[in-house]
């Protein structure tokens, strides 16, 4: 992905990018290019604050299979004795305990050269195929706040994870748009001994897995997961933090995550960044508990850029046996919507990886040399300036192709920064730009929309008083 100087064309066919309801297919999203950018200007945008809420391990179809107008299906495809057969997806509760394999090899098996019929053949550690387990979707009654947000604001119908992998690289992608640590290798999958700590806090001897530019997978053969141990001492492993700190004046930022502690917040992305982990920003900018975002909003202390990683029980992670995730998101959206920040804020909700669940849409071509693009994941955009639909009503569904680099690019342009040189260069922004690299999630020419409170099962007060679970948000 890094530094490509040619336009990349995404081939989308009716067979893979189809709107599905109950197994019926309709329109293709059509071919769409990734192109190199003009420099971002940030001009013309009323956005002064970006809040990125990160949830866990759900494919798009798993949450929005039956959402009106979205590309979803309740009938999937599996490979049985060399032949493709249809399988009816099971409707499950959000708190269902299925925790599926979603590593790079599992991605390749499910992807099956674009046929998207190998999910039943994914092999967990037991050696027995997962069979029907990936073929399920969540009962809409369990995720009402997500559907309310999608029908009130904007839903991305073609957001693809940057890599076909697990949470570790995904959380890195969300602070920098890629995981290349030098010109030959990129981080992928989990890290060794990561069930109690990770990043620079990992146990001695922990190793990253990586993928070479020839797509050779090297399990736990990479450097220790801290940029001081990366090639060139991590000097080329820049994140948005480097652009924020280097701006004049600096852009304020906070990364809210559960405390590390004993089996605490494993996916605190800046724990990989040596200069943050062992510098003053670890206490000034990396904030625990993550519920502090709620009091910062009410106390007028919202940073210009915020990432928010939830507690395990608020994360939608399969196996957490919890239904609190949708209410957690609603509590933050409501806090912003009812505050002084509403008219100047873009809230982005994204799920970090596919979680092993079926999705009918093949990732766009061409494949790249970092194991991506990965499978489709949901993304919601909430703002007074989210685009209206063709009937000039709320509930816009975008068919533009996006990746996590699209979010990074939008942040760069919002604050008039440069480019990190990862997928921020090769993907569309989710916001408008002067060139052909602009997205369609916002309309900054419209008058700001009045906020409407999002109903939820659990209140803001519930989360402020909830005790930390001290369980990792994820271990993969």
Summarize pLDDT for 40-55 with one digit per residue, the tens.
334 579 999 999 999 9
**Of the candidate ranges 116-120, 268-272, 300-304, the one whose mean pLDDT is the lowest:** 268-272
Q: What does the angle CA 330 – CA 335 – CA 336 come to, to the nearest 5 degrees?
A: 100
**CB-based burial, 277-291: b 16+ in 10 Å, e otherwise:** beeebbeebbbbbbb
pLDDT in tens, 419-431: 999 999 999 999 9
Helix (H) / strand (E) element for 286: namely strand 286-287
pLDDT tens per residue across span 155-193: 999 999 999 999 999 999 999 999 999 999 999 998 765
Pairing label, strands 345-351, 49-55: parallel
Fold of 8-178+233-465: Alkaline Phosphatase, subunit A (3.40.720)
Least Cα distance to 198 among 156, 261, 152, 255 occurs for: 261
Residue 153 tokens, joined: 């604001």
For residue 221, the number of C-alpha atoms closer than 13 Å in the C-beta half-sphere is 9
Q: How far apart are alpha carbons 452 and 439 in whole angstroms?
A: 25
Asked whether the predicted pLDDT for residue 11 surpasses 80, the reply is no
Rounded mean pLDDT of 127-147? 94
The band of 29, judged by pLDDT with boundaries at 50, 70 and 90, is: very low
Structure tokens at 354: 């596919």
Mean pLDDT computed over 443-458: 96
DSSP state of 269: G
402-407-413 Cα angle (round to 5): 115
- The radius of gyration of the chain from alpha carbons, rounded to an integer in Å, stands at 20
Encode 434-467: b = buried (16+ Cβ within 10 Å), e = exposed.
eeebbbbbbeeeeeebebeebebebebeebeebe
Mean pLDDT for the chain?
88
pLDDT at position 194: 53
Global pTM reads: 0.91
Give the per-residue pLDDT at 42. 46
Domain boundaries, the chain: 8-178+233-465
């Amino acid at each position: 992905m890094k530094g490509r100087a040619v336009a990349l064309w995404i081939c989308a066919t009716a067979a893979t990018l189809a709107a599905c309801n109950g197994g019926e297919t309709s329109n293709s999203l059509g071919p769409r290019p990734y192109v190199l950018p003009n420099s971002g200007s940030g001009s013309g945008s009323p956005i002064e604050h970006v809040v990125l809420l990160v949830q866990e391990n759900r494919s798009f179809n798993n949450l929005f299979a039956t959402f009106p107008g979205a590309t979803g299906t309740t009938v999937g495809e599996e490979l049985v004795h060399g032949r493709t057969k249809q399988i009816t997806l099971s409707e499950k509760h959000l708190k269902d305990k299925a925790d599926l394999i979603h590593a790079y090899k599992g991605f390749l098996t499910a992807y099956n050269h674009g046929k998207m019929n190998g999910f039943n053949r994914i092999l967990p550690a037991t050696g027995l195929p997962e069979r029907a387990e990936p073929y399920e979707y969540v009962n809409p009654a369990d995720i009402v706040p997500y559907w309310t947000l999608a029908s009130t604001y904007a839903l991305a119908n073609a957001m693809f994870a940057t890599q076909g992998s697990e949470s570790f690289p995904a959380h890195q992608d969300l602070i920098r748009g890629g995981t290349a640590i030098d010109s030959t290798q990129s981080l992928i999958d989990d890290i060794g001994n990561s069930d109690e700590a990770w990043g620079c806090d990992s146990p001695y001897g922990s190793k990253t897995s990586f993928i070479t530019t020839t797509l050779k997978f090297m399990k736990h053969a990479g450097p220790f997961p801290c940029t001081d141990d990366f090639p060139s001492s991590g000097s080329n492993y820049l994140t948005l933090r480097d652009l924020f700190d280097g701006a004049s004046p600096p852009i304020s930022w906070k990364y809210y995550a559960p405390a590390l502690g004993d089996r605490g917040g494993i996916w605190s992305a800046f724990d990989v960044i040596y200069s943050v982990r062992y510098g003053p920003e670890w206490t000034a900018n990396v904030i625990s508990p993550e519920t502090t975002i709620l009091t910062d909003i009410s106390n007028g202390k919202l940073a210009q850029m915020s990432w928010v990683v939830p507690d395990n029980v608020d994360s939608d992670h399969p196996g957490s046996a919890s239904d609190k995730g949708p209410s957690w998101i609603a509590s933050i959206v409501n806090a912003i919507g009812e505050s002084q920040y509403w008219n100047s804020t873009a809230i982005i909700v994204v799920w970090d990886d596919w979680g092993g669940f079926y999705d009918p849409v093949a990732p766009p071509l061409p494949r790249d040399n970092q194991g991506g693009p990965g499978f489709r994941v949901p993304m919601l955009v909430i703002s007074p300036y989210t685009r209206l639909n063709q009937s000039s009503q709320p509930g816009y569904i975008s068919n533009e192709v996006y990746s996590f680099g699209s979010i990074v690019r939008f942040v760069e342009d919002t604050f008039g920064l440069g480019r990190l040189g990862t997928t921020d260069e090769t993907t569309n922004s989710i916001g408008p730009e002067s060139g052909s690299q602009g997205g369609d999630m916002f309309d900054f020419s419209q008058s700001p929309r009045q906020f409407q409170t999002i109903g939820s099962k659990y209140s803001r007060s519930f989360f402020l008083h909830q005790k930390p679970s001290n369980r990792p948000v994820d271990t993969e």
